[in-house]
Amino acid sequence: MHDIRLKGFKKYNRIDDILPNFLKEIQELPFETILTENSLKRIVASDILSPVNVPHFSRSAMDGFAIRSETTFGASPNSPKIFKLVGKLSACETSSIGISTKDVIQVATGSPIPPNADAVIKLENTKRLENQIEVYFPVTPGQNISKIGEDIEKGDLLLSKGHSIRPQDIPLLLECSINELKVIKKPKVAIFPTGSELVHPGSPPEIGKIIETNSYSIAALSEIYGAQPFRFDIVPDDLILLQKAIEKGKMYDIIVFSGGTSVGEYDLLPSVISSYQNGKMIAHGFAMRPGSPTAIGFIDSKPIFCLPGFPVATMISFEVFVGPTIRTMLGAKKLDIKPLLYAELSKNIPSELGRRDFVRVSLEIQENKIYATPTRLKGSSLISSLVKSDGIVEIPENVEGLEKGMIVPVRLFPIW
Amino acid sequence: MHDIRLKGFKKYNRIDDILPNFLKEIQELPFETILTENSLKRIVASDILSPVNVPHFSRSAMDGFAIRSETTFGASPNSPKIFKLVGKLSACETSSIGISTKDVIQVATGSPIPPNADAVIKLENTKRLENQIEVYFPVTPGQNISKIGEDIEKGDLLLSKGHSIRPQDIPLLLECSINELKVIKKPKVAIFPTGSELVHPGSPPEIGKIIETNSYSIAALSEIYGAQPFRFDIVPDDLILLQKAIEKGKMYDIIVFSGGTSVGEYDLLPSVISSYQNGKMIAHGFAMRPGSPTAIGFIDSKPIFCLPGFPVATMISFEVFVGPTIRTMLGAKKLDIKPLLYAELSKNIPSELGRRDFVRVSLEIQENKIYATPTRLKGSSLISSLVKSDGIVEIPENVEGLEKGMIVPVRLFPIW
């Protein structure tokens, strides 16, 4: 059996034997400075500390009356305390006068606290009688006041290097007067679909021709992982044309081919790459399903990926190899952007020892429990298996199948 | 107590008493036709059926030899069967000749199956001796062949109305010759920050002034929910200027104000809206924390939202009211884009009966279990509580606090 197998891949590499070392050779890209308001989904290039206190003045956290707290002690609905209303501030107004023990000043949410006042009593806990205010409840010192630096102190770490900007991070930065920030540049990904059997979408269907779709899915995934995709035209199975494509690809940060990676005679790509003086194939053929014909390497120290031609294998292989490479170039904390959850398997899933399986599953929620059911239909060529699924369950190399009822981690496809 | 409360909100509405009926009044927007390659994250406007079979011809799923399966029965590594190699096809080549019981034709992955052949034997399970091929294993009829329509039959439902396009959906559509599709137009959201205390990001810090950040977080959230945001300048607390803003807002699909919604004297907005002939406030004041001063209504049948001014309350209130409105206009199946998972609480969380609490939690994974810890720090004004959290736990109105050890649903913030 072994010598027969030699006609296929000489060796199927384990992902964990190759990928971590491969990623160690990936350099983080330089930063660029952009406006905070345009920073959604970008990766922070260095720790961001607050240059200011927030709030930068003591302010009311309520609509109500600024008061000296000790004067309210003992107030109750049955025996209210009575104060004189000596002023009224809008949210942005500062008071020139202070208050005595008999006074209150009306404040709005956000009003600076007037001199001498140390608390705010809520509008709802008072009653107004012309120029007098009846106070029905006591307040404690500092109550309903946001103090200087209460939210953020000068020098506090706001966001750390590698964080990806979410909607809530933008108001935090702006509030701290950080109106621009350094983010890592988006890796530029050159995408080359290869194969003489490929035709463009929209071409008339002919026997033997396949519509080229991989460059579109690779572009969409690249974008989601935070890179900037560049789709190139179909490259036929031709030595010279493949070399020309590689030359073009070397102008980008990452080079991705799809197709041309199996052990058939028309699969030229890995040997073309190896033939380059500054090219090296790191591994060709992985113990994984789908995606086993994947090849990864470097040309002029740019990472180059040869993804298998089958649409599902292309996408899974992208998630395993290209996605983490993009994230490493971005210096991102999270290499996988698919949220992780745990689900109970509703069926047995068979697998082979020594190979990592990526099983597409659909999820269903019943009584606060999430159930995962494999949606793998017939083969790795069938893109519908990915379309019908909500996420991926990995079966590790040292496990021979998963059993119904087991709780397994699921990586979710994002929802929009 | 009750008459004192009257100075605050007359009534705190329950979200479930108001929101479902409010959403019933929201109309789906019209569709537009776009290129499939540009459809990532858009919402499908009507069911999409396949106009073709995929594959549209029988093709090899392997690199190997096309063969008549019955001629391989009995082959084994110890007694291989021997065939004559009569041709060789590249992936896109069709064979003009058929094969006899003694022949094989070499095929590549994707090659159309030659006449008479009904299976493909993998390259790895054969050995070549000049023009002869030794076959070491039997194949069954149809083995390693992708049949016409095996993946998708003409008329199959590919994607249903309301589905949001993911990377894997794009190759599926292109493969089925669907190069453009109908998606629902993006709702246009007009965003007006209000409050005389507000200044633009980058303004010098003055006592009493607050940096306006809500329009930026609302814009980022709108984009994530699938809408197109339009940020307008700060509107001071002035009747005429608020009316002018509303007039501008009526040109958009959704109008969002932030600030100006509490019961303080400077909070004019809900009464301005009610004063319009075609304006109606549906509810003002909700039994929720944060976000209770939210007001929702319609003007000229356009939904209008007055979100509270505190940055966290703004964002939570957006998630509860504006997000589902955007998704309803889009006809999206999922009204919430935050993935759902379940986690074990690592701490008690107190809450009040009759109010829905939105608790910010951070997640930690330990031994295949996800733990949620509340990150609520000090108050609803503190945006850092949202920045430090991974998602939201809701405490329903009929529950008085959650206990450590309970398994609770968590809505995750997306990761990029």
Within the 272-301 window of chain B, which residues sit less than 8 Å (CB to CB) from chain A? none
Work out whether the CA dihedral B212, B214, B217, B223 comes out positive or negative.
negative
The identity of residue A316, as a single letter, is: I
A12 in B contact zone (CB under 8 Å)? no
Report the gap between the CA of A308 and the closest CA in chain B (Å).
11
A-chain CB neighbours of B386 within 8 Å are 168
**Yes or no, beta carbons of A63 and B337 under 8 Å apart:** no
In terms of CA atoms, which chain A residue is nearest residue B263? A63
> In the 8-state DSSP scheme, what is residue B310?
S
| Tokens 């000043």 sit on residue | A105
Least confident of B4-13, B62-71, B290-299: B4-13
**Yes or no, beta carbons of A146 and B379 under 8 Å apart:** yes
Per-residue pLDDT at A377: 59
> In the 8-state DSSP scheme, what is residue B70?
G
A74 in B contact zone (CB under 8 Å)? no
**Yes or no, beta carbons of B220 and A36 under 8 Å apart:** no
Of A170, A207, A220, the CB nearest to B170: A220
**Yes or no, beta carbons of A223 and B174 under 8 Å apart:** no
Per-residue pLDDT at A5: 36
Per-residue pLDDT at B2: 35
Per-residue pLDDT at B6: 37
**Yes or no, beta carbons of A112 and B207 under 8 Å apart:** yes
Per-residue pLDDT at B92: 75
- CA pair distance B177, B35, nearest whole angstrom: 12
Per-residue pLDDT at A274: 87
Of B127, B152, B310, the CB nearest to A384: B152
H helix or E strand, kind and range, residue B77 = none
Mean pLDDT over each residue of chain B, to the nearest integer: 92
B157 in A contact zone (CB under 8 Å)? no
Report the gap between the CA of A329 and the closest CA in chain B (Å).
14
**Yes or no, beta carbons of A365 and B337 under 8 Å apart:** no
Per-residue pLDDT at A267: 72
**Yes or no, beta carbons of A57 and B208 under 8 Å apart:** yes
Which among A199, A326, A189, A188 is positioned nearest to A256, based on CA atoms? A189
What share of chain B in percent tops pLDDT 70? 95
B204 in A contact zone (CB under 8 Å)? no
**Yes or no, beta carbons of B407 and A122 under 8 Å apart:** no
Per-residue pLDDT at B118: 96
Q: Is there a contact between B107 and B89 (Cβ–Cβ < 8 Å)?
A: yes
**Yes or no, beta carbons of A108 and B265 under 8 Å apart:** yes
B342 in A contact zone (CB under 8 Å)? yes
By DSSP bridging, strand B340-345 and strand A81-88 are unpaired
Per-residue pLDDT at A378: 53
A386 in B contact zone (CB under 8 Å)? yes
B129 in A contact zone (CB under 8 Å)? no
Could you report the per-residue pLDDT of B370-399, keeping only the tens digit for each?
999 998 655 545 788 899 999 999 999 999
Residue, of B324 and A239, whose pLDDT is higher: B324
Please give the interface size between A and B, counted as residue pairs whose CB atoms are below 8 Å apart: 307
Question: Can you tell me whether residue B21 is helix, strand or coil?
Answer: helix
Q: Tell me the two tokens of residue A390.
A: 């909500």
Rg (CA), chain B: 31
Per-residue pLDDT at A1: 33
Per-residue pLDDT at B344: 96
Query: Which of A92, A215, A375, A399 to mutate to test binding with chain B, by most B CBs within 10 Å of its CB?
Result: A92
**Yes or no, beta carbons of B264 and A108 under 8 Å apart:** yes
Environment class of A59 (CB within 10 Å of its CB; exposed 0-12, middle 13-18, buried 19+): buried
* Whether pLDDT at B242 is above 80: yes
**Yes or no, beta carbons of A1 and B77 under 8 Å apart:** yes
A-chain CB neighbours of B207 within 8 Å are 56-57, 94, 112
ipTM of the complex: 0.90
CA A234 to chain centre: 30
Per-residue pLDDT at A263: 63
Domains belonging to chain A, first-starting first, are: 2-29+185-329 (3.40.980.10), 31-54+152-184 (3.90.105.10), 59-146 (2.170.190.11), 340-412 (2.40.340.10)
Identify any residues that bridge with B13 across adjacent strands, giving them in sequence order.
Answer: B286
Report the gap between the CA of B214 and the closest CA in chain A (Å).
7
Question: Can you tell me whether residue A195 is helix, strand or coil?
Answer: coil
Instruction: Categorise residue A362: left if φ over 0, alpha if ψ from -120 to 50, beta otherwise.
Output: beta
Report the gap between the CA of B278 and the closest CA in chain A (Å).
30
Residue, of B312 and B109, whose pLDDT is higher: B312
| Tokens 């001014």 sit on residue | B309
- Map A247-308 to HEC letters: HHHCCCCEEEEECCCCCCCCCCHHHHHHHCCCEEEEEECECEECCCCCEEEEECCEEEEEEC
Residue-wise DSSP of B331-358: T-S-S--SPEEEEEESS-B---TTSEEE
Q: Tell me the two tokens of residue B249.
A: 């807002």
> Can you count the helices (H) and strands (E) in chain B?
9, 26
Q: Is there a contact between B144 and B121 (Cβ–Cβ < 8 Å)?
A: yes
Within the 77-116 window of chain B, which residues sit less than 8 Å (CB to CB) from chain A? 77, 90-94, 108-112
H helix or E strand, kind and range, residue B258 = strand B254-258
Q: Is there a contact between A358 and A402 (Cβ–Cβ < 8 Å)?
A: no
How big, in percent rounded to 5, are the helix, strand and coil portions of chain A? 20, 30, 50
B49 in A contact zone (CB under 8 Å)? no
- CA pair distance B289, A77, nearest whole angstrom: 25
Environment class of A223 (CB within 10 Å of its CB; exposed 0-12, middle 13-18, buried 19+): middle
Q: Tell me the two tokens of residue A368.
A: 């606060």
Give CA torsion, residues A62, A68, A71, A75, to 10 deg: 10
For B298-302, the CB contacts below 8 A with 24+ separation are: B298/B25, B299/B246, B299/B249, B299/B250, B299/B255, B299/B273, B300/B250, B301/B25, B301/B27, B302/B249, B302/B250, B302/B252, B302/B253, B302/B254, B302/B255
Report the gap between the CA of B17 and the closest CA in chain A (Å).
23
Q: Where does the pLDDT of residue B103 fall: very low under 50, low under 70, confident under 90, or very high at 90 and above?
A: very high
* Whether pLDDT at B5 is above 50: no
- Map A129-193 to HEC letters: ECCEEEECCCCCCCCCEECCCCCECCCCEEECCCCECCCCHHHHHHHCCCCEEEEECCCEEEEEE
Residue, of B310 and B226, whose pLDDT is higher: B226
Q: Tell me the two tokens of residue B384.
A: 């850092």
Per-residue pLDDT at B368: 85
In terms of CA atoms, which chain A residue is nearest residue B76? A1
- CB atoms closer than 10 angstroms to residue B400: 11
H helix or E strand, kind and range, residue B103 = strand B103-107
* Whether pLDDT at B317 is above 70: yes
pLDDT along chain A (416 residues), means of 10: 47 96 98 98 98 91 93 94 93 85 91 93 92 95 91 93 97 96 98 93 88 97 97 94 96 94 71 89 94 94 94 96 98 94 95 94 93 74 85 96 96 84
B369 in A contact zone (CB under 8 Å)? yes
Per-residue pLDDT at A110: 81
Per-residue pLDDT at A226: 97
Could you report the per-residue pLDDT of B268-290, keeping only the tens digit for each?
888 888 888 899 999 999 999 99
A-chain CB neighbours of B383 within 8 Å are 151, 168, 171-172, 175
Residue, of A5 and B111, whose pLDDT is higher: B111
* Strand ranges of the sheet holding B279-284, from the earlier edge strand across to the other edge: B228-231, B188-193, B254-258, B302-307, B295-299, B279-284
Per-residue pLDDT at B12: 93
Within the 256-275 window of chain B, which residues sit less than 8 Å (CB to CB) from chain A? 262-267
pTM value?
Answer: 0.91
Of A41, A93, A265, the CB nearest to B416: A41
Instruction: Categorise residue B172: left if φ over 0, alpha if ψ from -120 to 50, beta otherwise.
Output: alpha
Give CA separation, A310 vs A15, A198, A213, A242, in Å.
19, 12, 10, 19
In terms of CA atoms, which chain A residue is nearest residue B78? A1
